[in-house]
Amino acid sequence: MKVTVVGAGAVGASCAEYIAIKNFASEVVLLDIKEGYAEGKAMDLMQTASLNGFDTKITGVTNDYSKTANSDICVITSGIPRKPGMTREELIGINAGIVKNVSSSLIEHSPNTIMIVVSNPMDTMAYLVHKTTNLPKHKIIGMGGALDSARFKYRLAEALGGPISDVDGMVLGGHSDTGMIPLTRLATRNGVPVSEFLSEERLNTVKEDTKVGGATLTKLLGTSAWYAPGAAVSGLVQAIACDQKKMFPCSVLLEGEYGLNDISFGVPVILGKNGIEKIVDIELNQAEKDNMVSSAEAVRKVNDLLEL
Ligand SMILES: NC(=O)C1=CN([C@@H]2O[C@H](COP(=O)(O)OP(=O)(O)OC[C@H]3O[C@@H](n4cnc5c(N)ncnc54)[C@H](O)[C@@H]3O)[C@@H](O)[C@H]2O)C=CC1
Ligand SMILES: O=C([O-])CC(=O)C(=O)O
């Protein structure tokens, strides 16, 4: 199993580290445009191998796509992150060009790859890859909902005063400060609806804290987060590499599911060796459906800015 991660910055390196620590991939190639940077990150990470007990071979390359040839999975994290006060959508001007070039270079050397898009604004970047490459739709996966759901569970556990392992829940919709839809109605603590434990008001606070999860960290860190994003990507990579058939919310091309068409948007999917093996069309209530529609409208407005 060969995995390429483009962008050896904060998220790319964290993702490579978690993939290696989980020890399921034979090879991870880190690629960056900055001279020597990916080589340095790869060497530093390889020097953790004996300490962390992994056998994954991590190599770094400066913009040499021939070294990424025949990757089973490619992850795109290249591009700029936001600064405090910015939205993810403001990154489109620079990141669209980067994602377009990187995805076509990757496919040139790995025509059968499964691609995971991380760069922001992520739903629009995933849509761009659909529109500008010939990869089939089940092989283009935007990572956002897995991270947002992890943040949702963190906030739920905080409100419940219990361990995160007690909690389950999902966030659908666009990966943006206003577009995320944390499904509080379906969230549970060991199978019991969280509404049995938390007031509507407290659940609303959980919801709002979840939606601004990325912005909150960006304000604290001066740039956006990387540990949970890297871990979330590694979870998707592992589900595909190990054919786990696990369910994650991911941004995928919709063709009628949830009443939406021609948009890459966050919905639950089953991930396995073929990439997206199934889009899970769950029954939502009217308020949730309305939120899906307005979140999708906001993503479409950003998609309209793409020069396709
Ligand atoms: N979808 C999600 O849930 C998340 C998305 N992100 C996004 O991921 C992206 C990366 O974030 P960070 O790693 O924090 O940024 P970073 O600045 O630490 O790393 C980005 C790396 O991309 C490299 N790069 C730029 N242009 C390139 C090109 N053409 N080819 C190869 N490498 C190139 C840069 O040299 C840099 O090392 C941002 O757009 C950020 O908004 C971050 C966290 C979560
Ligand atoms: O907040 C950001 O800009 C980065 C990101 O997508 C996240 O951490 O959710």
ipTM given for this complex? 0.99
Q: What pLDDT is stored for residue 236 in this prediction?
A: 98
Mean pLDDT throughout 64-77? 98
Nearest-angstrom CA–CA distance, 212 and 206 = 10
| Neighbouring residues of 64: CB distance < 8 A, sequence distance ≥ 6 | 31
Ligand-binding annotation for 267, yes or no, is: no
Do 174 and 123 contact (CB within 8 A), yes or no? yes
Mean pLDDT throughout 262-272?
Answer: 98
Domains of the chain listed by start with CATH number: 2-143 (3.40.50.720), 145-303 (3.90.110.10)
Greatest CA separation for the chain: 55
| Separation CA 290–CA 299 (nearest Å) | 14
Q: Which two tokens stand for residue 248?
A: 């994650």
76 Cα to the center of ligand 1, angstroms: 8
Say if ligand 2 is within 6 A of residue 88 CB: yes
State phi, psi for 282 to the nearest 5 degrees: -85, 155
pLDDT at position 308:
87
Active site residue ranges? 175
Give yes or no for residue 307 having a pLDDT over 90: yes
Can you give the pTM of this predicted structure?
A: 0.98
Is the pLDDT assigned to residue 13 strictly greater than 90?
yes
Cβ count near 244 (within 10 Å): 14
* CB-defined site of ligand 1, < 6 Å: 6-12, 32-34, 37, 77-82, 91, 95, 98, 102, 118-120, 122, 143-144, 147, 175, 223-226, 229
**Can you tell me the distance from the alpha carbon of 32 to that of 231, in angstroms, rounded to the nearest whole number?**
20
CA pair distance 242, 19, nearest whole angstrom: 12
pLDDT digits (tens, 9 = 90+) for 26-48: 999 999 999 999 999 999 999 99
- Banded pLDDT at 264 (limits 50, 70, 90): very high
* CA–CA gap between residue 261 and residue 234 (Å, rounded): 28
For residue 218 and ligand 2, the question of a CB distance below 6 A is answered with yes
Q: Are 14 and 7 in contact (CB under 8 A)?
A: no
